[in-house]
Structure 1
Amino acid sequence: MTRTTPNWAAFITAEPDLARTVEERFAAFTHHVVATLRKDGSPRTCGLEVRFARGELWLGMMPDSLKALDLRRDPRFALQANPGPGTEMGGGDVRIAGRAVEVHDPADRARYAEEAEPPEPFHLFRTELTEVVRTYVEDDTYLVVEIWKPGVPVRTLKRT
């Protein structure tokens, strides 16, 4: 199978510090928000649990959930880490965009089920990344935006 865009392992290799920060941010809470595209092209947002394992970012979903059906039809997605309670976002706001590829291989599905213990049956998608973004406030002065895209080093923007 040829990947058209990098997976999580490739992102870790390219930008290990940002990858670690993003994983920590997602690990802070169980539920996050995924955006998919409906048949008519409008966005759908839903809650979702994610898993980083074996060099992949995995998305597991209930059978025939609308978000899974959306991804089968159009694999583009955007994923946002849970901001947490109140106005503090420890670690900043992180978002991942890319394509979700459904996993049918029985061995991969069994390994995921053993690790994540999802309710059966389930849809399983691995991700290919097109963008990772972290936004945070530095020194109570600057809004900092770090943007990574495949094949390009992280670009950092600071605004006052």
Structure 2
Amino acid sequence: MTLSWADFHAAEPEFADAVRARFGRFRHHVLATLRADGSPRLTGLEGDFRAGELWLGMMYGSRKARDLRRDPRFSLHANPGPGDDMAGGDVRVSGRAAEVTDPGALARYAAGAPEGSTPGRFHLFRAELTEAVRVHVEDPYIVFEVWHPGKRLRTVRRKDEDSTLHEDV
């Protein structure tokens, strides 16, 4: 089961807002795709949140686009930023990338690009989510929040010194 960003937000609005805010702290993030031989490929990407969707745009013919056309599974990890600043936690979303090929939809997307950065020929994928994860610190706990479509947000708090797990149900 996969859901659009809007569906994820409808299911878990506060969590979705926290995840999006973390992605919004930096422009560039890390996209994981699968190569033809099954090994992982990590590349930079600018995730774009527009019209209730998370969009993955990339250069025409890029290796990451070819990876996604062959196997749409992906994971997008938010840029952790410089130094120890992990404000907002460590965030990633995973799912399937649905390629957008309709010329009208591509033109509308390109028209919404910031001034001076209108793309020429490009690949565009809409993220269909299967998971969102956020890890952050609430002293004395490390907090793991995990969401999957059709399930409630799962929160686990762990104390490092005694490896005690406390799960919110």
Shorter-chain TM band = over 0.9
Q: How large is the Cα RMSD of the aligned pairs?
A: 0.9
What residue is the counterpart of 2:141 in the other structure?
142
TM-score (norm 1): 0.95
Q: How many corresponding residue pairs? A: 156
Give the AA of the match of 2:11. Answer: A
Deviation for aligned residue 1:28 = 0.6
Mapped to 1, the partners of 2:86 and 2:69 lie a distance apart of 32
Q: Tell me the residue number matched to 2:108.
A: 111
Q: Which amino acid aligns with 1:152?
A: K
Which aligned pairs between 1:65-76 and structure 2 lie closer than 5 A? 65-76=62-73
Unaligned 5+ runs, structure 1: none
> What secondary structure is seen at the aligned counterpart in 2 of 1:153?
coil
- Determine whether 1:94 maps to 2:72: no
Q: Does 1:48 align with 2:45?
A: yes
Q: 1:22 maps to which residue?
A: 19
Deviation at 1:118, TM superposition (A): 4.2
Q: Deviations over 1:63-97 (max 9, x none)?
A: 11100000000000000000000012110010000
Aligned: 1:63 with 2:82:
no
Flag the structure with larger Rg. 2
CA deviation after TM superposition for structure 1 residue 119, in Å:
2.5
**How far 1:22 moved relative to its partner?**
0.9
Q: Distance in 2 between matches of 1:70 and 1:159?
A: 36
Structure 2 unaligned residues grouped into runs of 5+: 160-169
Q: Secondary structure of 2:129's match?
A: strand
- Equivalent position amino acid for 2:146 in 1: I
How far 1:33 sits from its partner (Å)?
Answer: 0.1
